[in-house]
Amino acid sequence: MKPIVILGIFVADTAYRAERQPKMGETIMGNSFVLGPGGKGSNQSVAAAMAGGNVHFITRLGNDAFADIARATWAKAGVTPQVKIDHDSYTGAAYIFIEASTGNNAIIVSPGAAGRVSVQDVEEKADLIASAAVFVTQLEQPIPAAKRGLEIARAAGVTTILNPAPAATLSDDILALCDYVTPNESETESLTGLPVTTVAEAEAAADALLAKGVGAVIITLGDKGALYRDRTRSVHVPVISAGPVVETTGAGDAFNGGFAVALSEGRDVVEAVRFGCATAGISVTRAGTAPSMPSRTEIETLLAKGA
């Protein structure tokens, strides 16, 4: 099976659950704390590997204890690391606030070594990227590195997915390298300047992205599921629920990992969106990011129930 190659970052997630965020200068008591693996690229790699993909992950780590967490996480999930050790930096970390009553989150990411991923790092993995079924990247590592990865993949005929998160200004030439872009509502608004509060508004925003040269758009809509739209069809895929929501952190990463696996297996794109929605639907019933990613069996069982 051709690999899924993902470029991105690993960070150690420091997750604090509390009733509310503190105001500036204020100290409040939290309900819990968890230290675990995170970073969008790493989370997507874990999700894809757990869902049955042959996954290779390109990144940088420091030489420290947080790097040990990364290696253990990837080994458990079956991700093949393609890692450069950066002795002049540190393995990244993220502050995650989780609102106890809703499970909603707010995040600060300090990428450390992964923030120094370079175009040269990507070019050193050009043969691997060119051999892939699917190439995935995001915007937590420097954008020039992401662009170079997309260029290499596109030149080799590899399916390209850009998860434009966190939101950033992107040139049309980057967007034109993408077979699929997978923003959430707020990221879509940032990219297009258009509101996304309904499915109809999502369709209009997707059209704006298609006009910039994107192959197809999948907008993840939280509890409203996901919208798939290209130049010939538009399909709203409802949320696929696996139970009460515990935490939404990592849901987008779960979707992207599952979606990439289904595409790599040659599934129809709408079926791949459903597979991604099922992956995300299970992940939000659990705490954490990488630890919440479901197995292939769990995803297929949920899809069978929905069918």
Query: Which one of the listed residues 207, 223, 253, 268 is annotated catalytic?
Result: 253
Instruction: Name residues whose C-beta falls within 8 Å of residue 49's C-beta, 6 or more positions apart in sequence.
Output: 55, 74, 77, 78, 79, 257
Cis ω for the linkage preceding 294 (within 30 of 0): no
- B/e letters for 8-42, b = 16+ CB within 10 Å, e = fewer, are bbbbbbebbbbeeeeeeeeeeeeeeeeebbbbbbb
Query: Which is more confidently placed, 136 or 103?
Result: 136
In a domain, 126, yes or no: no
In a domain, 127, yes or no: no
Task: Give the per-residue pLDDT at 307.
Answer: 58
What CATH number has the domain bearing residue 61? 3.40.1190.20
- Predicted confidence (pLDDT) at residue 105 exceeds the cutoff of 90: no
pLDDT band at 104 (very low <50, low <70, confident <90, very high): confident
Instruction: Tell me the pLDDT tens digit for each residue of 30-70.
Output: 999 989 999 999 999 999 999 999 999 999 999 999 999 99
In a domain, 205, yes or no: yes
In a domain, 125, yes or no: no
Instruction: Tell me the pLDDT tens digit for each residue of 162-176.
Output: 999 998 999 999 999
Task: Give the per-residue pLDDT at 1.
Answer: 81
Task: Give the per-residue pLDDT at 107.
Answer: 85
Instruction: Name residues whose C-beta falls within 8 Å of residue 23's C-beta, 6 or more positions apart in sequence.
Output: none
Task: Give the per-residue pLDDT at 31.
Answer: 96
Tally of CB atoms within 10 A around 307: 6
In a domain, 160, yes or no: yes
Please state, rounded to an integer, the average pLDDT across all residues of the chain: 95
- Predicted confidence (pLDDT) at residue 234 exceeds the cutoff of 90: yes
In a domain, 81, yes or no: yes
The question of whether 253 is a catalytic residue gets the answer yes
> Whole-prediction pTM value?
0.92
Instruction: Tell me the pLDDT tens digit for each residue of 122-134.
Output: 999 999 999 999 9
pLDDT band at 148 (very low <50, low <70, confident <90, very high): very high
**Total count of domains within the chain:** 1
In a domain, 226, yes or no: yes
**What is the C-alpha separation between 303 and 237, in angstroms, rounded?**
13
Percentage of the chain exceeding pLDDT 90: 88
Query: Which is more confidently placed, 289 or 198?
Result: 198
**What is the C-alpha separation between 272 and 269, in angstroms, rounded?**
5
pLDDT band at 266 (very low <50, low <70, confident <90, very high): very high
In a domain, 114, yes or no: yes
Q: Which domain holds residue 268?
A: 4-20+28-120+132-306
Percentage of the chain exceeding pLDDT 70: 100
Instruction: Tell me the pLDDT tens digit for each residue of 177-187.
Output: 999 999 999 99
